[in-house]
């Protein structure tokens, strides 16, 4: 793995650790706790590496959900984790400020249109961090904070 690849992987794992700190803090008021573990991820760009997984448990040590890293090399993002519960699985992506953009152009015969850049996701991506993309049709990215995370957790697990 080259140096830039190593830096990207380190940044991804740092972002995962930072999110886990937030989650540990956010879920306490709901009477939940976490249990840490590790998984192995194998990506073409980096090879195999260990990543932390976070299981979310209720006060009876019953499984509510888990937060599972997917990878650092994700099209349209700087990394991805999945929030997985009994009812659903929600991807959460890491984005840099401004988010990714798509550049398009068109050419027909001798006519060449000037390239146009547009954001890949709608919504305000004003800070680097973790985002949930509302749905494929709208493509609106929402910054993950305590309120949104607890709402998503309830959606995947039916734990209120």
pLDDT in tens, the chain (160 residues): 555 888 999 999 999 999 999 999 999 989 999 999 999 999 999 999 999 999 999 999 999 999 999 999 999 999 999 999 999 999 999 999 999 888 888 888 888 888 888 888 888 899 999 999 987 677 899 999 999 999 999 999 988 7
Q: Give the closest residue to 98 by CA, choosing from 79, 81, 77.
A: 77
The dihedral of CA 19, 21, 23, 26: what is its sign? negative
H helix or E strand, kind and range, residue 82 = strand 80-85
Domains contained in the chain, number: 1
Which residues make beta-bridge pairs with 132? Answer: 142
Expressed as residue numbers, the domain containing 15 is: 3-157
């Amino acid at each position: 793995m080259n140096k830039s690849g190593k830096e990207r992987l380190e940044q991804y794992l740092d972002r995962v650790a930072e999110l886990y700190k937030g989650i540990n803090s956010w879920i306490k008021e709901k009477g939940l706790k976490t249990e840490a573990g590790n998984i192995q991820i194998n990506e073409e760009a980096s090879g195999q590496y260990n990543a932390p997984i976070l299981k979310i448990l209720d006060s009876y040590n019953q499984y509510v959900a888990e937060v599972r890293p997917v990878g650092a090399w994700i099209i349209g993002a700087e990394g991805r984790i999945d929030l997985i519960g009994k009812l659903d699985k929600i991807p959460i992506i890491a984005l840099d400020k401004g988010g990714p953009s798509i550049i398009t152009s068109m050419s027909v015969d001798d006519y060449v249109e000037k390239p146009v850049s547009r954001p890949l996701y709608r919504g305000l991506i004003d800070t680097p961090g973790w985002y949930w993309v509302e749905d494929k049709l709208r493509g609106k990215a929402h910054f993950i904070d305590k309120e949104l995370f607890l709402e998503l957790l309830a959606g995947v697990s039916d734990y209120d």
